[in-house]
């Protein structure tokens, strides 16, 4: 089956996720309205500016509907800003920023520094074969705490941020500090799409 996976199309690198999902044999659709959210099997929250996306979720009337879908078990994948939005607690953000609490974790916004501190590295990523994942970090967050129900999938292997958590999964919700949509390596997207496909296969009609 081809799961219908929405890409939250309010701000950020929407197109790159759209193409990656299509290459993984999903049916990607842009989501800007509650009716479009209601029609998808899962949702991707792209990188961008987390506080801007947070504000736009309220403006477009999507904040509470999205929280409700996540509470009901909708799978989701957030990269960079998407990880920040999916956290239950965010450090170094604006007081009015909203979070979705899709994963029980504490995330520090812009933890790796400013745009000039962007970097790439290779990560061992739990559950993925065929070698390390090339990870691109752009004004990225890191995870400072994970709850008992969350699974750490990747950590920074070396350097000043050695050991910092940069990929987490809880149930059907996946989050990465980095941008797998920009490298051409589809393994993280394929992991997510496969998990959505498996969930849909066993879900009662």
pLDDT band at 199 (very low <50, low <70, confident <90, very high): confident
189 is catalytic: no
The reply to whether 19 belongs to the active site is: no
Q: Decide if 17 is catalytic.
A: no
Domain boundaries, the chain: 4-202
Task: Render pLDDT for 13-45 as a digit per residue (tens, 0 to 9).
Answer: 899 999 999 999 999 999 999 999 999 999 999
Residue identified by tokens 């996540």 is 70
Instruction: Give Cα separations from 149 to 69, 90, 162, 190 (angstroms).
Output: 19, 18, 23, 23
Interatomic CA distance for residues 109 and 127, integer angstroms: 26
Which residues are annotated as part of the binding site for L-glutamine?
A: 48-50, 109, 138-139
Angstrom CA distances, 59 to 31, 84, 89, 119, 143, stand at 14, 19, 22, 33, 28
pLDDT top residue among 110 and 163: 163
Each residue's pLDDT tens digit, 64-103:
999 999 999 999 999 999 999 999 999 988 888 889 999 9
Which residues fall in the annotated binding site?
Answer: 48-50, 109, 138-139
Catalytic residue among 16, 17, 179, 189: 179
Tens of pLDDT along 116-139? Answer: 457 889 999 999 989 999 999 988
What was the pLDDT predicted at 148? 94
Q: Output the CATH code of domain 4-202.
A: 3.40.50.880
**What tens digit of pLDDT does each residue of 42-67 get?**
999 999 889 899 999 999 999 999 99
For residue 117, the model assigns a pLDDT of 56
pLDDT band at 165; cut points 50, 70, 90: very high
Instruction: Out of 17, 24, 181, 189, pick the active-site residue.
Output: 181
Which residue among 80, 151, 162, 198 is the active-site one?
80
pLDDT tens, residue by residue, 169-196: 999 999 999 999 999 999 999 999 999 9
Note the pTM of the prediction, 2 decimals: 0.94
pLDDT beyond 70 at 149: yes
């Amino acid at each position: 089956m081809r799961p219908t996976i929405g890409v939250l199309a309010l701000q950020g690198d929407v197109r790159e996720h759209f193409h990656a999902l299509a290459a993984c044999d999903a049916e990607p659709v842009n989501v800007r309205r509650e009716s479009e959210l209601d029609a998808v099997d899962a949702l991707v929250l792209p990188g961008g500016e987390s506080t801007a996306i947070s504000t736009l979720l309220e403006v477009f009337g999507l904040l509470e509907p999205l929280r409700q879908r996540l509470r009901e078990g909708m799978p989701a994948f957030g990269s960079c800003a998407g990880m920040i939005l999916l956290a239950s607690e965010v450090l170094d953000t604006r007081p009015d920023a909203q979070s979705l609490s899709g994963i029980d974790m504490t995330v520090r916004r812009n933890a790796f520094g400013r745009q000039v501190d962007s970097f790439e590295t290779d990560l061992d990523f739990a559950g993925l074969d065929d070698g390390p994942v090339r990870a691109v970090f752009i004004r990225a967050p890191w995870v400072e705490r994970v709850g008992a129900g969350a699974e750490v999938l990747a950590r920074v292997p070396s350097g000043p941020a050695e050991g910092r958590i940069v990929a987490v999964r809880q149930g059907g919700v996946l989050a990465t500090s980095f941008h797998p949509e920009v490298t051409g390596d589809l393994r993280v997207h394929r992991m997510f799409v496969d998990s959505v496909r498996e969930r849909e296969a066993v879900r009662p009609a």
